[in-house]
Structure 1
Amino acid sequence: MNAYFFQQDFYATRYNCSAYSQEEWQSFGKKKPFLGACFIMIGVVTQVIYVPFLFGMMQKKFRDMSCYKIMFYLGILDVGNIVGGTLITGYLTWHGAVFCSHPGLIYFAGCFGVASWCAACLTCVLLAFNRCVDFARSDLSDTMFGGYKTWIWLLLPTVYFLAVSFYEMPVIYNSEFVAWFYDPFIGVPIHYDYDYSNTTHAINNIAVIFILCAENAFLCHNIFKLSGHLSSSIKRKRQVTNWMGRKIPAFHCESPFCLEYCA
């Protein structure tokens, strides 16, 4: 977003839509109302299911636990990602959008989409780290994450979100391919010799794979090592909490692996 607001020459050269008229730009897209409606419907249903869980995590018995604070924060990011990945994508697919047919919406949605994804990855790393510390050294966990300290930790993904949204290249939607790319003119008979790559995004996706795998391996090792020394009731509670703490980052780990493999 920094380019849009403060580097207008940079934005005007790399996202220049003067080569064609609006009607011609629209012709490069492909309207897919049925697919767009499916995206929107999936997004609405997912939000209806998802949002009540966020309210549930804010009950006092959960709110006092650091891992639920982190999961709540991650849930907020996921709600934003669902809006971009289904509702906005559905609208753009329905109308056959390319960048120059909806430049403002696509640009800002792309900025927030990349930033939300990167922040969610860092939040997953933080969640897995929280679970590792809690299981290995519960006394240290309270020192590091007790009370308001968890919210201080969550400043890290917040700053990351702001930095990526302002200073990195956004993804741009193209209805012809029903996908988001960094090149705003992909599939269009026009060529600008500019670099649209996002190095931060690539490093983020590779790093989160290795970090989350290491954290989950450490956590699983400690769970198996300590499980024989806990009472059945405590064991069940910790198993549920740590299952959530493992699975949520694990699911996020699969996506960057697929993205980097396909790239």
Structure 2
Amino acid sequence: MSDLQMSLAYMVTHSFTPYPDLYECPESMKNVKTERLYLGTYFLLSGLILVILYTPCFIVMVRSKCRVPAFQVMLILSVFDLLSLSVNSVITGVLDIMGTSFCHYPVFIFCAGAIGKGSWMGGCVACILLAVDRCVEVNAKFKLGFLFRKKVFRYVMILMIVYWFYSCVFTKPVLFTAEYSSWFFDPNIGKEPNHYHSIDHTINNLVVSVATTSLYIYLSYHLIYKIGHSTSMWLYRSKKQIIIQAVILCSFHAVAAYIYVYMQFFHSPPWLIIIGQLTWQWSNGCFCVAYLTLNQAIRNAVVRMIVPKKIRERFDLHIGIDEHLRRTSGDQQDRTQINTVSSCIKMDNII
């Protein structure tokens, strides 16, 4: 059975009907519901919170005039993350609370699963590129640095978007099963499981796990042993932040990737399935948390955008050099405009 017959493209071109031989549900399954109220409430609320936190970060990046390669990767990764969070958190929570699975809303879940899978795979490429960029920042001679040259990077971005579109439209989607509160390629309707294995997803997950782990180990090694100890407290804190980010981002992506590969080919206990779903959620959600806690430029820009000026003045939250100058000099007509995001064009690559 070809991937194309089991893809979103097939469903759209056949009156929004999934391939009947493998996706037609028995009537008995349409009446079975497995409500998971507590788990569903967690996914829904945490998903909404992460989306709410991520949205202002995304708006700040869109408004910024900074368009260096790494910043463009961060911007498109934000799109992938918001799409993924909508599926693996918000939609998952709603379906858990309702107790509904693929057989209850086949078209909706098929479309959501296609978007979720495509956004995960596109986001994996973006994460690898960000890891490469960090390595280039600490070592200008890093061999993969050519990917960020102007002429080459244009094609890198095109290929990443094409890869995302291909994964969404022309490959097998993941489908929700309320019994396990997770998304599988197998809709669990009694068909042969081997028909639903996704080779492209397996290869993608293995590559992103090995690549991000290797790149972040290289980054941490270079920061600790090559740059060495510094008497500068600023440099010490900068290195510490970069290493913390590396460990967090790499851990969630690698664990989620390995678990979902394992789940495709081996029987998995319920606790492992839930861990896989949680790591998928936080592999997308951890970026907004990192932006707001470890990236001072984006955090300050978000505060300036959300918190009214009068409140910031009242609580002495004068974020940005322009406001600080007006505060200290008393010159309310100062026209200095400094873009706080552009002053930190890399995601905390301060070195």
What range is the shorter-chain TM-score in? 0.7 to 0.9
Instruction: Tell whether 2:22 aligns with 1:14.
Output: yes
Where in structure 1 are there 5+ consecutive unaligned residues? Answer: none
Deviation at 1:139, TM superposition (A): 10
Which residue matches 1:251? 252
Instruction: Tell whether 2:197 aligns with 1:197.
Output: yes
Instruction: Tell whether 2:183 aligns with 1:175.
Output: no
1 CA distance for matches of 2:122 and 2:242?
21
Which residue matches 1:166? 169
2 CA distance for matches of 1:255 and 1:102?
26
The amino acid across from 2:24 in the alignment is N
Q: Once structures 1 and 2 are overlaid, which stretch shifts more, 210-219 or 195-204?
A: 210-219
1:45 to 43, 46, 49: 49
1 CA distance for matches of 2:142 and 2:198?
40
Which residue matches 2:116? 113
Deviation at 1:200, TM superposition (A): 0.7
3-state SS of the aligned residue for 2:196?
coil
Instruction: Tell whether 2:74 aligns with 1:67.
Output: no
The amino acid across from 1:111 in the alignment is A
Aligned CA distance change for structure 1 residues 7 and 136 (closer, same or farther; 3 Å)? farther
Aligned CA distance change for structure 1 residues 82 and 151 (closer, same or farther; 3 Å)? farther
Which residue matches 1:55? 59
2 CA distance for matches of 1:192 and 1:214?
36
- Deviation per CA, 1:87-116: give whole Å up to 9, x if none: 111121122212121011110111111111
Deviation at 1:146, TM superposition (A): 5.7
| Greater fraction helix | 1
Report if aligned partners of 1:227, 1:235 keep a CA contact under 8 Å in 2.
no
Matches within 5 A, 1:77-116: 77-116=80-119
Aligned CA distance change for structure 1 residues 64 and 140 (closer, same or farther; 3 Å)? farther
Report if aligned partners of 1:128, 1:245 keep a CA contact under 8 Å in 2.
no
Q: Once structures 1 and 2 are overlaid, which stretch shifts more, 220-229 or 77-86?
A: 220-229
2 CA distance for matches of 1:211 and 1:57?
26
Aligned CA distance change for structure 1 residues 93 and 161 (closer, same or farther; 3 Å)? same
3-state SS of the aligned residue for 2:19?
helix
Which residue matches 2:126? 123
Report if aligned partners of 2:132, 2:144 keep a CA contact under 8 Å in 1.
no
Deviation at 1:206, TM superposition (A): 1.3
Where in structure 2 are there 5+ consecutive unaligned residues? Answer: 1-7, 267-351
Deviation at 1:242, TM superposition (A): 4.2
Deviation at 1:55, TM superposition (A): 3.1
TM-score with structure 1 length normalisation? 0.81
Deviation at 1:156, TM superposition (A): 2.7
TM-score with structure 2 length normalisation? 0.62
- Deviation per CA, 1:62-83: give whole Å up to 9, x if none: x344333322321221111111
Matches within 5 A, 1:226-241: 226-228=226-228, 232=232, 235=235, 239=239
3-state SS of the aligned residue for 1:154?
helix
Which residue matches 2:223? 223
1:4 to 6, 11, 23: 11
2 CA distance for matches of 1:197 and 1:143?
35
3-state SS of the aligned residue for 1:173?
strand
Which residue matches 1:136? 139
Which residue matches 2:34? 30
Deviation at 1:117, TM superposition (A): 0.9
3-state SS of the aligned residue for 1:99?
coil
Aligned CA distance change for structure 1 residues 77 and 241 (closer, same or farther; 3 Å)? farther
2 CA distance for matches of 1:118 and 1:28?
32
1 CA distance for matches of 2:67 and 2:233?
20
Which residue matches 1:260? 261
The amino acid across from 2:128 in the alignment is V
Report if aligned partners of 2:186, 2:193 keep a CA contact under 8 Å in 1.
no
The amino acid across from 2:21 in the alignment is T
